[in-house]
Structure 1
Amino acid sequence: MRDTVDRQRRAFWLKHLHRWHWISSAISLVVLLLFSVTGFTLNHAARIEASPRVERHAATLPPDLLGQLVAQRPKSAPLPPAVATFITTQTGAPVDGRAGDWSDDEVAVSLPRPGGDGWVSIDRETGEIQYETTDRGWLAYVNDLHKGRNTGPVWSWFIDVFALACVVFALTGLLLLQMHAGQRRMTWPMVALGLVLPVVVALLFIH
């Protein structure tokens, strides 16, 4: 009787562990591959050449819009909507709603993004607009996705969900290893190797 109960309990846990293991692996598979590849490229970033592409655009604010900048003196605030719309139309810079650093001479808006950078500078006396954007290529883009650099809150939430799926994948895999360990004698030595090896490398080779 007890053997029957034990077998039923084992079958129950095997069923649910397998289910959660394959679900979490399906959710995390593509992004896990992406993060594994970008982990490699980040580790060898100094050896991988990149050719940044820089573009510059210029324009001049008309007097009525320039007057809106002269009238304001905040330290940090978005550009007036009409000014932001004009700049985007003339240069393509996505400045709407972005906070700028205001000084007596200019307003500077930083435009960082994955795989590149950018900035807009508006002279508060002449109305001269300078827009520069730098594109470091697709490799820099995916590397920044890996780091969550300048990716916004939605990508940050996605990484959290993905990380949770990886934790579920790893823990259910460990429990499945434990349940099958009786038939696979090398299970725990291999698990121990996966724990000990990075510790030994860190202690001996990281200074």
Structure 2
Amino acid sequence: MRTIKASHAVAQTRAGQPLRAQAYVWARSIHLYTSMISLVVVLFFAATGITLNHPDWAFGNTQTTHTYQGTLPSAWRPNGQIDWLKTAEFLRSQHSLKGQVQDTTQDAQEASLSFRAPGYAADAFIQLQTGSYTLRVVAQGPVAVLNDLHRGRDAGAAWSWVIDLAGGFLGIVALSGLALSLFLRKTRKAAVLTALVGSGLLLLLMLTTR
């Protein structure tokens, strides 16, 4: 009877080993390749996280401001209604503006529209009666551009997908790394303990900064 039980235990152990080994291989492969795919993403968000935290650092933060004046063509306001598309495309072609049109406003005397891109802002103010406009363009330095990309500000839908994918990859890297630490008996307790302590400290900091 003992021999049968021992044989059964050995068979269970042998059956469990391939599954455990396969899970370890999968976790290691996922961790390795997602880490390599997201390497540049991690470095980008790490660097821009530091520059966002230190806005007083002056390097790469040069800013240029230009003001332009002109008059829109007569077709900008057919039948007394502003054609925002024609207006925006005229201003874009005349002054090499970039970014997306965002805010459009109008009152009894003046209309305005804005162009926005990371580290870039252009605001046009138009007199309704004459079609004359004043355009103010502010272009910030490369660090400001990278900081806005970090925030996802004025970067468009494509960059928003990049941020979502980056978050997904980083989540997979973290979880697969945790899984790997659980497979290693010698460091399992220390890894779990470190993760709990780190999570606790982060939670404490979040609560104290509210």
User: What is the TM-score with the length of structure 2 in the denominator?
Assistant: 0.82
Larger Rg: 2
Q: For this pair of structures, how many residues does the alignment match?
A: 197
Distance in 1 between residues matched to 2:118 and 2:197, nearest whole Å: 37
Going from structure 1 to structure 2, the CA distance change for 1:166 and 1:94 (only over 3 Å counts) comes to closer
Please tell me whether residue 206 in structure 1 is matched to residue 203 in structure 2: no
Q: Which of the numbers 160, 175, 178 marks the counterpart of 2:164?
A: 160
Tell me the secondary structure at the aligned position of residue 117 of structure 2. Answer: coil
Matched-pair contact (CA < 8 Å) for 1:21–1:169: yes
Cα RMSD between the aligned structures?
A: 2.4
Matched-pair contact (CA < 8 Å) for 2:110–2:127: yes
Measured after TM superposition, the shift of residue 193 of structure 1 is: 2.5
Measured after TM superposition, the shift of residue 43 of structure 1 is: 1.3
Please tell me whether residue 115 in structure 1 is matched to residue 115 in structure 2: no
Measured after TM superposition, the shift of residue 124 of structure 1 is: 1.4
Please tell me whether residue 79 in structure 1 is matched to residue 90 in structure 2: no
Please tell me whether residue 183 in structure 1 is matched to residue 186 in structure 2: yes
User: What is the TM-score with the length of structure 1 in the denominator?
Assistant: 0.83
Distance in 1 between residues matched to 2:26 and 2:110, nearest whole Å: 62
- Unaligned ranges ≥5, structure 2: 1-10
Q: Which amino acid aligns with 1:71?
A: G
Runs of 4+ in 1 over 6 A off after TM superposition: none
- Unaligned ranges ≥5, structure 1: none
Measured after TM superposition, the shift of residue 91 of structure 1 is: 2.3
Distance in 1 between residues matched to 2:31 and 2:37, nearest whole Å: 10
- Which of 47-56 and 193-202 deviates more? 193-202
Measured after TM superposition, the shift of residue 96 of structure 1 is: 8.4
Alignment identity in percent? 27
The residue correspondences of 1:56-95 to structure 2 (distance < 5 A) are 56-62=67-73, 64-65=74-75, 68=78, 71-72=80-81, 79-81=84-86, 83-94=87-98
Q: Which of the numbers 62, 74, 82 marks the counterpart of 1:51?
A: 62
Going from structure 1 to structure 2, the CA distance change for 1:51 and 1:152 (only over 3 Å counts) comes to same
Going from structure 1 to structure 2, the CA distance change for 1:193 and 1:80 (only over 3 Å counts) comes to closer
Distance in 2 between residues matched to 1:7 and 1:80, nearest whole Å: 66
Going from structure 1 to structure 2, the CA distance change for 1:163 and 1:96 (only over 3 Å counts) comes to closer
Please tell me whether residue 132 in structure 1 is matched to residue 148 in structure 2: no
Matched-pair contact (CA < 8 Å) for 2:152–2:160: yes
Matched-pair contact (CA < 8 Å) for 1:118–1:132: yes
Please tell me whether residue 42 in structure 1 is matched to residue 52 in structure 2: yes
Going from structure 1 to structure 2, the CA distance change for 1:196 and 1:58 (only over 3 Å counts) comes to same
